[in-house]
Structure 1
């Protein structure tokens, strides 16, 4: 399979990844607001979806990094892009099923790196760009977000120590609506751009655009819509891990964590770093727990860190395997086999998750039907 049919398949697969990115990363913006009852789940994901779409139109710096700063464009073919997308999608679905807030950004970058290595060797990867644009920010960003959230949480409780707990929670719930909205907007400026960069790579590899082309408007609209739809459907498993699994969050903590996340993500988007918004949100939530001196569930945090460390290489292995299959089964047969494996794996994980949700993990129903408690019932720190 080559030419226009393969290009169409790659674009559709890229939008499918964007969709999984949306429902996988809903938790980044809304987990703390849902956990503190500042927003009801359905209203939260709808608000997040709309702002993700808006954010996708605000910046293209990250899209340019993905298209030009990670791999050598001369080494990229449509089959390579397709294999990389397979790596990103499979890893997103695996970690979503396990409820681990891993990085969609690192999943797609890892998948692309793995497929390029199989197709063109190690020299096909721009390792300096990977180090400076991906690896170093992956370590710095969550630490920075955690420190900001720690200081912010401590200051919030220090300044409001004389305010009754119920009144404080009421006011901070209102503030959380604004801070959560800002995180969703920031998420759109970063995560939606990654798929735009992948689609741009595919269009260049397919000969539809010159190497120095910008992102077409229809690509921006399609990617914004896909991530918005995925966000609206919501990643309830990951929301529970971030919102309830790490620390017991009160509204002041939620406001501090969300403000910290939004700040770090927006700064990274400005400089074109394809940041893991999941890492940033998790670091902020951990920092809010430390700042309040509340119990942090470090066992859950350790599981998350392990997922962070293995995401890029694991997705690279899947992407490399997909490209290897296409190389061995040259032509349309290889692409069809990889597509069948992708669809089969995705369907299997989805069905397994649905069965699990029916028995013990239906977070959507659990939270959506629960009436928000009166603000006065919140306790003081």
Structure 2
């Protein structure tokens, strides 16, 4: 097997594990105050859906592979490797500084920067469209969560809330598997040259994600569930429904958006609906600043590295 393929396959596996560390905790965080979905059950549900949902639709994976930049040209696998590594570096550095961010934003920036640095065809209009959806997702999540919170306050009781939690959690997991989670599959698509979503590959991606989620749950979960708002269980359920609905709507048109951003927007919207004093605005601002830094940082890093590597190569 050629060296560029071997390297990219290894990087793709690392990317799936880090995605689990970064995203898995966020997906479970909203319901940590409710005992109805245990962490082990939640991770198992996520792993199954990440393996199965792409068999039905892989639109978002194809957007990563074909609409942002063309990585099938000569040198494309090296450029993809640089894009993924750059995204991981930016996310890990920001996370180490206490600024959790979006791995989806990082990979969009990395793919764009590496494509430009390597001289591959990059679609400016597609990049701008993805960014527009990415910016809209947390806002839409917040608005939907505000309405959902008001509705739940009027119609449900504490005894019924665990059922709503299960429904919201499953919706959120389906949304992640249909959208944000397909960034992992996209890297394997480029590495191994397949199209569609064969079950052995989706199962591999899901398993690696699960390993990362088990490791990263405590830290990622604490950041979203405790820092953004002074939350009640109802707020978490409202955020689940709003994030799931928002991300599924984006998946329907093949636009990758960040589930962690949608969840954060949902938590803020739910907090505002219950009284803006519940929102810890300093924590929300810290997260937004990290989002704003993520894409340009990963784009610049990937672009410079790709340009240098191509220049010194044979």
Tell me the TM-score normalised to structure 2 length: 0.90
Cα gap change, 1:98/1:25 in structure 2, threshold over 3 Å: closer, same or farther?
farther
Aligned counterpart, 2:122: 125
Aligned counterpart, 1:322: 305
Q: In the aligned structure 1, how far is the partner of 2:75 from the partner of 2:123?
A: 12
Q: In the aligned structure 2, how far is the partner of 1:218 from the partner of 1:246?
A: 38
SS in 1 for 2:56: coil
Q: In the aligned structure 2, how far is the partner of 1:190 from the partner of 1:11?
A: 21
Identify the range of structure 1 (175-184 vs 102-111) with the bigger mean alpha-carbon deviation: 175-184
Q: Identify which of 199, 221, 227 aligns with 1:245.
A: 227
Q: In the aligned structure 2, how far is the partner of 1:169 from the partner of 1:109?
A: 41
Question: Is 2:3 the partner of 1:9?
Answer: no
Question: Is 2:167 the partner of 1:178?
Answer: yes
Aligned counterpart, 2:243: 261
8 Å contact kept, 2:228–2:268:
yes
Q: In the aligned structure 1, how far is the partner of 2:14 from the partner of 2:292?
A: 24
8 Å contact kept, 2:55–2:198:
no
Identify the range of structure 1 (72-81 vs 55-64) with the bigger mean alpha-carbon deviation: 72-81
Q: Identify which of 9, 19, 22 aligns with 1:24.
A: 22
Cα gap change, 1:325/1:244 in structure 2, threshold over 3 Å: closer, same or farther?
same
Q: In the aligned structure 2, how far is the partner of 1:288 from the partner of 1:118?
A: 42
Shift of 1:78: 1.7
1:94-137 per-position Cα deviation (integer Å, ceiling 9, x unaligned): 2333443411111112112111221117xx321101111x1110
8 Å contact kept, 2:50–2:202:
no
Cα gap change, 1:94/1:200 in structure 2, threshold over 3 Å: closer, same or farther?
same
1:204-238 per-position Cα deviation (integer Å, ceiling 9, x unaligned): 5xxxx6xxx54555433322322233223333222
Aligned counterpart, 2:63: 65
Alignment of 1:295-374 (within 5 A): 295-330=278-313
Question: Where in structure 1 are there 5+ consecutive unaligned residues?
Answer: 161-167, 332-381
Q: In the aligned structure 2, how far is the partner of 1:322 from the partner of 1:71?
A: 17
SS in 2 for 1:57: helix
Q: Which runs of 4+ in 1 moved over 6 A?
A: none
Q: In the aligned structure 1, how far is the partner of 2:137 from the partner of 2:280?
A: 21
Aligned counterpart, 1:48: 46
1:8-37 per-position Cα deviation (integer Å, ceiling 9, x unaligned): 110120121111111100133211111344
Shift of 1:253: 1.8
Tell me the TM-score normalised to structure 1 length: 0.75
Cα gap change, 1:35/1:169 in structure 2, threshold over 3 Å: closer, same or farther?
same
Q: In the aligned structure 2, how far is the partner of 1:290 from the partner of 1:63?
A: 34
Cα gap change, 1:197/1:46 in structure 2, threshold over 3 Å: closer, same or farther?
closer
Aligned counterpart, 1:272: 254
Question: Where in structure 2 are there 5+ consecutive unaligned residues?
Answer: none
